[in-house]
Amino acid sequence: MEIIDPRAAFESGNAALGEGRAEDAVVHYRKAMGAAPDVVEVHHNLTAALAQLGRNDEAIGAARLGLEQRQDYAPLHVALANLLSLTGEVKEARAHYEEALRLDHDLAVAWSGMAGIFMAEGSYEIASEKYRKAMSINKNDIVSMNNLAICQMSLGRHHDALALYRDLVALNPAVGSLRNNLAQVLQALGRHDEAVASFRRALELDQKIDNLAPFFMQSLMYQCAWDDLATVKQMVLDETHRRLADGLAITVQPFSLAGTDAPADLRLAASRSYAAHCAVAVKGLADRLRFKYLPARVGPLRIGYISPDFRQHSVATAFKDLIARHDREYFEWFGYAIGRETRDHMTDYFRSQFNHFTDFNEKDLEETARHIHQDRLDLLVDLSGFTRHSALELLELRPAPLQAHYLGYGATLGTDCVQYLITDAVNTPPELAEHCAEAVIYLPDSFMATSKPEIAAEIPDRASQGLPEGAMVFANFNAHYKFDPETFDLWLDLLAALPGSVIWLLQGSDGAMANLRATATSKGIDPDRLIFAPRAPHPEHLARQSLADLSLDCRHHTGGVSTMDALWSGLPVLTIAGDNQSARTGASILHSAGLADLAVGSLAEYRAKALQLALDPDALANLKARVRAATGTAPLFDTARLARHLEAAYREIVRRHRSGETVGSFAAHEVL
């Protein structure tokens, strides 16, 4: 019979674990435990080895067995709590962290672990306090400093996060993941030149950083830095395919795929993966809340709209007349502002328009969800989708019995917690509806909301805007991240074919404008034929747009509110009806405006149509007259009509639910 020296077996296990041989470590630790079952350190290290191998159930068993031997060993409470957090047993995990801190109040890993629970639940202030406590005990706690920076980002304190990451990078200059995180903060601050440099350095240091490529792609797009954009886009698509095939969470935010040619099936799979990640992140909180819904109330239907953009934002610009037009006799309207962005006069406007308006700026996820649930809504309508400060984690808590998405993202969210997608047949034709997780509600016109804007009475002349008299002026007033090199090349090709013509764009960052000018130069086009309009108040911006002759829409990610602005200004917009929703918003808008002939099917048709109009001043003048007439007659501009169709949809959603019918697609105008 072999005689085991428990101390020697324990040390052999430690050596194997230190060398990354976790399987061997498990063998040695089990031998040590067999010879000395009451040595709690053996149980602790066996737990660590099993966890490293991903054998979480066995690791939890080892930790529990060790605590049976010795309840007062704080590190084992932490190890067990870490595992329980990973497996969604948050309530028990919290109890073990608390016990560890009762035994050893200065145990940094326990403070950090407890912080992680609050961070996962969206309680970023509490999490920040606990991470700071961990750092006060262990000044070299990189994990806590990194997570504290993430909390500061989530709280909207980007400059605090930037300072933390600069310190982390200074302390660890060769760690690529930290440079990647620094780049992401710079990106959030709009400092894309610096972000690109930091992403490049991160990639040099570490080729395997999971979420680098998607964020790197975004900054390259914002800067119109196209030299290696195709390579980085392919990295994003390849990584997304690989992770989906391996059953791993994707690293790209689904909104970022809007600027790529990702097909509809990949977009749905990516949305499902991302939504599942959000659901896992709040599983503990969802299990604790387990909302139950009281029987339906007698009286007006209670409809809630939730958005991070009840402020000066394109969604608010589109939505503000719609809420004013909603019926107040048969409906009661609840507005919920989320996110940490600065509130402004537009927020005050929405506060005055809803029957009830709640700003959750200072509330955590649990408080927000409880408040919404207590409002006893019949239906909660999300206006954000996968855009910035998404409400998806909140929606996963299901504070309302029925949930739908409308307007802000306009495509599938890939989750069962949102039962309906409100769209139209042009934006989401049958071949795209097949790739939506939700039942589809079709509005008869465009899904796009619009609000009649104020347009300055005084229209400037071309000379004051730096535009040539008597020459063709193309325009595009979208953000530069929506541009793509193939479409921009086509714009330059039009300039080459039409001597004296120019293209009028919004001012962007110095880097983006320099890159666009350099691209023009490389194609033999005088960069001065790219005219950049400075930012201006919205009424003045709309007035000056009428100076242009034709707006050329973006291809992968078409204009929404920018297209509406052009039409309100009397400026025709030429678009391509692409093969996904982000590439079809322009077509949806134009169809509903009675301008379907301006939604073509390919780049070749786009070029031919633009050239035809540029060479036929009479046709262009007639087209401008049609646009001006449409603003007074077309369904697109009839906000009261849109309100009635949405209300019909809301009534039908609730009726089906109350009568026990299954969720299913329908056309809103058929249930009026």
Q: SS3 string of 23-86?
A: HHHHHHHHHHHHHCCCCHHHHHHHHHHHHHCCCHHHHHHHHHHHHHHCCCCHHHHHHHHHHHHH
In this prediction, residues 30-58 reach a mean pLDDT of 85
User: For residue 425, what are its two tokens?
Assistant: 């047949």
Q: Is the pLDDT of residue 532 over 80?
A: yes
In this prediction, residues 523-527 reach a mean pLDDT of 97
Question: Is 271 within 8 Å of 254 (Cβ atoms)?
Answer: yes
User: For residue 59, what are its two tokens?
Assistant: 């690791």
More confident residue, 410 or 45: 410
CATH class of the 463-592+595-633 domain in this structure = alpha beta
User: For residue 16, what are its two tokens?
Assistant: 């194997």
- Helix then strand then coil, in percent of the chain rounded to 5, is 55, 10, 35
Q: What is the DSSP letter of 472?
A: -
In this prediction, residues 493-509 reach a mean pLDDT of 97
User: Where does the pLDDT of residue 14 fall: very low under 50, low under 70, confident under 90, or very high at 90 and above?
Assistant: confident
Sequence-ordered list of residues with C-beta below 8 angstroms from that of 520, at least 6 positions apart, any chain: 492, 526, 527, 529, 530
CATH class of the 291-446+643-671 domain in this structure = alpha beta
pLDDT of residue 351: 98
Characterize the bridge pairing of strands 420-424 and 403-406: parallel
pLDDT of residue 2: 58
In this prediction, residues 443-457 reach a mean pLDDT of 96
| pTM for the model | 0.85
pLDDT of residue 3: 65
Characterize the bridge pairing of strands 473-476 and 403-406: unpaired
557/571 Cα distance (integer angstroms): 19
Residue count (the chain): 672
| Burial profile 566-578: b = 16 or more Cβ within 10 angstroms, e = fewer | bbbbbbbbbbbbb
Distances (CA, A) of 557 to 430, 484, 537, 623: 20, 9, 24, 24
Quick one: 606 exposed, middle or buried, by C-beta within 10 A (0-12, 13-18, 19+)? buried
Residue 120 parent element (H or E): helix 108-120
User: Where does the pLDDT of residue 550 fall: very low under 50, low under 70, confident under 90, or very high at 90 and above?
Assistant: very high
**pLDDT tens-digit series, residues 599-611:** 999 999 999 999 9
More confident residue, 186 or 139: 186
Judged by phi (left if over 0) then psi (alpha if -120 to 50, else beta), residue 54 lies in: left
219/188 Cα distance (integer angstroms): 10
Q: What is the DSSP letter of 500?
A: T
pLDDT of residue 122: 81
pLDDT, averaged across the chain? 94
171/165 Cα distance (integer angstroms): 10
Q: Is the pLDDT of residue 598 over 70?
A: yes
Mean pLDDT lowest among 178-187, 244-253, 436-445:
244-253
Question: Is 600 within 8 Å of 570 (Cβ atoms)?
Answer: no
Characterize the bridge pairing of strands 573-576 and 502-506: unpaired
Q: Is the pLDDT of residue 136 over 90?
A: yes
pLDDT of residue 436: 97
Local structure of 331: helix, strand or coil:
strand
Sequence-ordered list of residues with C-beta below 8 angstroms from that of 448, at least 6 positions apart, any chain: 318, 407, 560, 564, 585, 588, 589, 592, 636
Q: Which residues of the chain form CATH 3.40.50.11380? A: 291-446+643-671
User: Where does the pLDDT of residue 1 fall: very low under 50, low under 70, confident under 90, or very high at 90 and above?
Assistant: very low
DSSP E strand stretches across 241-383: 301-307, 331-337, 356-359, 379-382
Q: Is the pLDDT of residue 411 over 90?
A: yes
User: Where does the pLDDT of residue 594 fall: very low under 50, low under 70, confident under 90, or very high at 90 and above?
Assistant: very high
Alpha-helical (H) ranges within 546-671 are: 561-568, 585-592, 603-614, 617-633, 639-658
User: Where does the pLDDT of residue 223 fall: very low under 50, low under 70, confident under 90, or very high at 90 and above?
Assistant: very high
Question: Is 120 within 8 Å of 282 (Cβ atoms)?
Answer: yes
**pLDDT tens-digit series, residues 336-358:** 999 988 899 999 999 999 999 99
Q: Which residues of the chain form CATH 3.40.50.2000? A: 463-592+595-633
Question: Is 450 within 8 Å of 585 (Cβ atoms)?
Answer: no
In this prediction, residues 567-592 reach a mean pLDDT of 97
pLDDT of residue 388: 83
Phi, psi dihedral angles at 596 (to 5 degrees): -60, -25
Quick one: 104 exposed, middle or buried, by C-beta within 10 A (0-12, 13-18, 19+)? middle
Q: Is the pLDDT of residue 63 over 90?
A: no
| Burial profile 427-441: b = 16 or more Cβ within 10 angstroms, e = fewer | bbbeebbebbbbbbb
